[in-house]
């Protein structure tokens, strides 16, 4: 019979090399990987037989069989799952199933060097067989009944495929063990690995004729009957994890929809660790039958960090994976579960605020993503966000509800200001007025925060307002009485003020939209405010950076310059413009640039430095 030889793809060769030479200390996982593939194949078959009807070898029981040959040093894993056609053998076992193979590989190498436990997060997959095997054969026959084939390789660079007659449906993997791996043909050893890794596989695993696992769907069991240990084990199984989960929600509902869900929040956020976008980690079941693994449909995308299962008896068993996307029942389930999960987070935040802050630090970014991409859950998400504020401790963000509790009776809005750090915000001009009037202001320290808050727009009926808005008006008074009176005590009269303002407008004509007298500055001479009530300076900075990346020039909207007639510098300027207009112009430009920098906006550094030297030269001479 004809045998065809194929070369592995370059990245597959690299992966094989890593698996064989770097990961051998974690060898036991090869059994887990092969069992998990067998279980996947059985799940796929079960679903296929429900949707397609006519299947080959339909009488075969759905199970995994493991046979050991201690003398010949061979381990064989057989499943009666969906099987593979010739093309599927070639494609599935000749290339890496994961997306973005090359970057993935580099990450894998790095991760393996640092912490070999992290390997579980990727799943090394089928190639793990070469950790223990010198030669691996895969005999497979597809559910469609087409002729079976055998795939064979020693993992070094190529593989062969030839036709193999007389096979049953499913896949048999024959691993000829390396000399130092002979104990993988010893029963007690294999049994202990299966017990450790595969307790939750939902098909019987038969080791030399004896069933070694108890098939169970933990999520359908009564909460009271489930031990902590079982939950933790299940999490490790479903999340391919080695740690304990941070949070767990096990919830069941009968009406309006019958749902069983078991959701876990892991400890680590792999996206920020540089592993790229994570795949959704929740599987969708219907009456304990897997319908959609790593489902993109059962939860919103921004909850992709969750691991677990959702099972609903209301879904039709024979629903195809394609039709999940626009199925209205799935949409309803998604809504119910998302709301329930967000409510759970809110409860946890109330119960154990410190622990919730840990969650927020690690996964808050996903909730922020939810707020900017999904209007449906704004209200719930609004309760869950945390920001530092002028009245919070550094590093201890507060809830919007805490802010509202502390609001002054005459205060109607919630204020926030963005800046790179707490220190930078407090040193800037925007918080002066709030301090003076004893009004709390939130510090948003991530660029995305202003988008989040402008999407949220209000909380508890109170508008969220950025403190760099031009039309800001905040309640006056507070600790000090007569703050207002002091504001008007400027030594300039109305005419002088108007004179300076119109001169500034003329001098800075190509830079500012308007120059106005500030009613809120305390010490700073000037600040930039946004005439556009929606856009904050930070949002503008982010948008212009992203436009620049695309090679587009960003047309900056002109800002308003607010000036403080209390400031000695401004008072002096109104004299200087009469006696030395050139120098006054330099000072005005510098004040403008300083205010821009304090707003986090870009100025031309060369121009500014040159001007700065001109000013210094002038000062040093006089």
- Catalog residues that contact ligand ADP under the rule CB under 6 A: 33, 37-38, 40-41, 79, 81-84, 92-93, 97, 123, 125-126, 171
Which one, 66 or 512, has the nearer CB to ligand ADP? 66
Distance CA 313, CA 285 (A): 8
The interface partner of residue 120, options being ligand ADP, Mg ion, none and the CB cut-off 5 to 8 Å by kind, is none
**Measured from the CB of residue 123, what is the shortest distance to Mg ion in angstroms?**
6
Distance CA 304, CA 280 (A): 4
**Measured from the CB of residue 17, what is the shortest distance to ligand ADP in angstroms?**
15
**Measured from the CB of residue 125, what is the shortest distance to ligand ADP in angstroms?**
2
**Measured from the CB of residue 88, what is the shortest distance to ligand ADP in angstroms?**
7
**Measured from the CB of residue 193, what is the shortest distance to Mg ion in angstroms?**
16
Which one, 83 or 525, has the nearer CB to ligand ADP? 83
Crossing angle of helices 29-52 and 187-197, in 10° steps, is 60
Separation in Å, CA 128 to CA 31, 113, 272, 467, 582: 8, 17, 27, 56, 76
The interface partner of residue 84, options being ligand ADP, Mg ion, none and the CB cut-off 5 to 8 Å by kind, is ligand ADP
The interface partner of residue 38, options being Mg ion, ligand ADP, none and the CB cut-off 5 to 8 Å by kind, is ligand ADP
Which one, 307 or 455, has the nearer CB to ligand ADP? 307
Residue nearest to ligand ADP (CB): 125
Q: How far is CA 526 from the centre of its chain?
A: 39
Which one, 98 or 340, has the nearer CB to ligand ADP? 98
**Measured from the CB of residue 301, what is the shortest distance to ligand ADP in angstroms?**
21
Which one, 125 or 600, has the nearer CB to Mg ion? 125
Q: Which x/- pattern, by CB under 5 A, does the window 383-412 give for Mg ion?
A: ------------------------------
Separation in Å, CA 539 to CA 196, 276, 456, 466: 50, 25, 15, 11
Distance CA 418, CA 424 (A): 10
**Measured from the CB of residue 158, what is the shortest distance to Mg ion in angstroms?**
22
Give the phi and the psi of residue 166 in degrees, each rounded to 5.
80, 15
Whether residue 517 contacts residue 563, with contact meaning beta carbons closer than 8 Å, is answered with yes
Which one, 8 or 30, has the nearer CB to Mg ion? 30
Question: Is the bond preceding 182 in cis, omega lying within 30 degrees of 0?
Answer: no
Helix (H/G/I), strand (E/B), else coil: 260: strand
Distance CA 388, CA 371 (A): 18
Whether residue 126 contacts residue 33, with contact meaning beta carbons closer than 8 Å, is answered with yes
Per CB under 5 A, 266 contacts Mg ion: no
Per CB under 5 A, 92 contacts Mg ion: no
Q: Judged by CB under 5 A, which stretch of 118-126, 271-279, 400-408, 557-565 contacts Mg ion?
A: 118-126
Distance CA 38, CA 284 (A): 19
**Measured from the CB of residue 315, what is the shortest distance to ligand ADP in angstroms?**
24
Q: Judged by CB under 5 A, which stretch of 117-125, 236-244, 308-316, 375-383 contacts Mg ion?
A: 117-125
Instruction: Give the CB-side neighbour count of residue 29, counting CA atoms within 13 A.
Output: 24
The interface partner of residue 97, options being ligand ADP, Mg ion, none and the CB cut-off 5 to 8 Å by kind, is ligand ADP
Q: Which one, of 267, 248, 272, lies nearest residue 348 by Cα? A: 248
Give me the residues paired with residue 515 across strands: 561
Whether residue 294 contacts residue 366, with contact meaning beta carbons closer than 8 Å, is answered with no
Q: Which x/- pattern, by CB under 5 A, does the window 28-67 give for Mg ion?
A: ---------x------------------------------
**Measured from the CB of residue 49, what is the shortest distance to ligand ADP in angstroms?**
15
Q: Using the rule CB under 5 A, which residue among 125, 133, 170, 382 binds Mg ion?
A: 125
Instruction: Give the CB-side neighbour count of residue 517, counting CA atoms within 13 A.
Output: 18
The interface partner of residue 593, options being ligand ADP, Mg ion, none and the CB cut-off 5 to 8 Å by kind, is none
Distance CA 536, CA 529 (A): 9
Which one, 294 or 296, has the nearer CB to Mg ion? 294
Give the phi and the psi of residue 492 in degrees, each rounded to 5.
-90, 140
**Measured from the CB of residue 128, what is the shortest distance to Mg ion in angstroms?**
9
Helix (H/G/I), strand (E/B), else coil: 557: coil
Instruction: Give the CB-side neighbour count of residue 321, counting CA atoms within 13 A.
Output: 14
Residues at the interface with Mg ion (CB under 5 A):
37, 125
């Amino acid at each position: 019979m004809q045998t065809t030889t194929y070369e592995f793809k370059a990245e597959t060769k690299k992966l094989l090399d890593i698996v064989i030479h770097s990961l051998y200390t974690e060898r036991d996982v090869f059994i887990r990987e092969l069992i998990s593939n067998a279980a996947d194949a059985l799940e796929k078959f079960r679903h296929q037989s429900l949707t397609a009807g006519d299947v080959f070898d339909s009488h075969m029981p759905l199970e995994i069989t493991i046979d050991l040959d201690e003398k010949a040093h061979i381990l064989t894993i057989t499943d009666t799952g969906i099987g593979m056609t010739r093309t599927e053998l070639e494609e599935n076992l000749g290339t890496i199933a994961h997306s973005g193979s090359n970057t993935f590989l580099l990450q894998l190498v790095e991760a393996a060097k640092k912490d070999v436990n992290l390997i579980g997060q990727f799943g090394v997959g089928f190639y793990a067989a070469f950790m223990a095997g010198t030669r691996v054969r895969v005999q497979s026959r597809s559910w469609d009944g087409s002729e079976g084939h055998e795939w064979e390789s020693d993992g070094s660079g190529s593989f062969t495929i030839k036709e193999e007659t007389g096979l049953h449906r499913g896949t048999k993997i024959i691993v000829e063990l390396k000399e130092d791996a002979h104990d993988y043909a010893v029963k007690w050893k294999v049994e202990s690995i299966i017990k450790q890794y595969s307790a939750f596989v939902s098909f019987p695993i038969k080791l030399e004729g004896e069933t070694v696992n108890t098939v169970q769907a933990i999520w359908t069991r009564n909460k009271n009957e489930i031990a902590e240990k079982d939950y933790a084990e299940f999490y490790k199984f479903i999340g391919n994890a080695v740690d304990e989960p941070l949070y767990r929600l096990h919830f069941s509902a009968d009406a309006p929809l019958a749902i069983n869900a078991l959701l876990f929040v892991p400890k680590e956020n792999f996206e920020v660790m540089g592993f790229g976008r994570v795949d959704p980690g929740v599987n969708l079941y219907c009456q304990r039958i897997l319908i959609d693994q790593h489902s993109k449909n059962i939860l919103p995308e921004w909850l992709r960090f969750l691991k677990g299962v959702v099972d609903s008896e209301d879904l039709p068993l024979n629903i195809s994976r394609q039709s999940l996307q626009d199925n209205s029942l799935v949409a309803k389930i998604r809504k119910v579960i998302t709301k329930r999960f967000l409510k759970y987070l809110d409860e946890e935040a109330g119960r154990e605020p410190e622990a919730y802050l840990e969650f927020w630090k690690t996964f808050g970014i996903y909730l922020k993503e939810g707020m900017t991409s999904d209007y449906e859950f704004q209200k719930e998400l609004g309760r869950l966000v945390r920001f530092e504020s002028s009245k919070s401790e550094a590093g201890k963000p507060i809830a919007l509800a805490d802010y509202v509790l502390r609001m002054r009776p005459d205060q109607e809005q919630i204020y926030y200001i963005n800046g790179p750090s707490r220190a930078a915000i407090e040193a800037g001009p925007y918080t002066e007025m709030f301090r003076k009037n004893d009004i709390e202001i939130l510090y948003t320290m991530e660029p995305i925060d202003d988008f989040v808050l402008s999407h949220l727009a209000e909380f508890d009926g109170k508008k969220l307002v950025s403190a760099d808005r031009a039309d800001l008006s905040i309640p006056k008074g507070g600790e000090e009485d007569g703050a207002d009176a002091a504001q008007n005590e400027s030594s300039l009269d109305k005419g002088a003020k108007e004179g300076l303002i119109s001169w500034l407008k003329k001098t800075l004509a190509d830079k500012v939209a308007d120059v106005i007298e500030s009613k809120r500055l305390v010490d700073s001479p000037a600040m930039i405010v946004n005439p556009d009530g929606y856009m904050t300076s930070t949002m503008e900075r982010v948008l212009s950076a992203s436009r620049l990346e695309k090679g587009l020039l960003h047309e900056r909207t002109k800002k308003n310059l607010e000036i403080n007639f209390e400031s000695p510098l401004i008072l002096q300027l109104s004299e200087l413009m009469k006696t030395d207009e050139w120098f006054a112009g330099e000072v005005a430009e510098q004040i403008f640039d300083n205010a821009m920098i304090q707003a986090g906006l870009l100025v031309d550094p060369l121009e500014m430095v040159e001007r700065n030297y001109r000013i210094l030269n002038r000062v040093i001479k006089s």
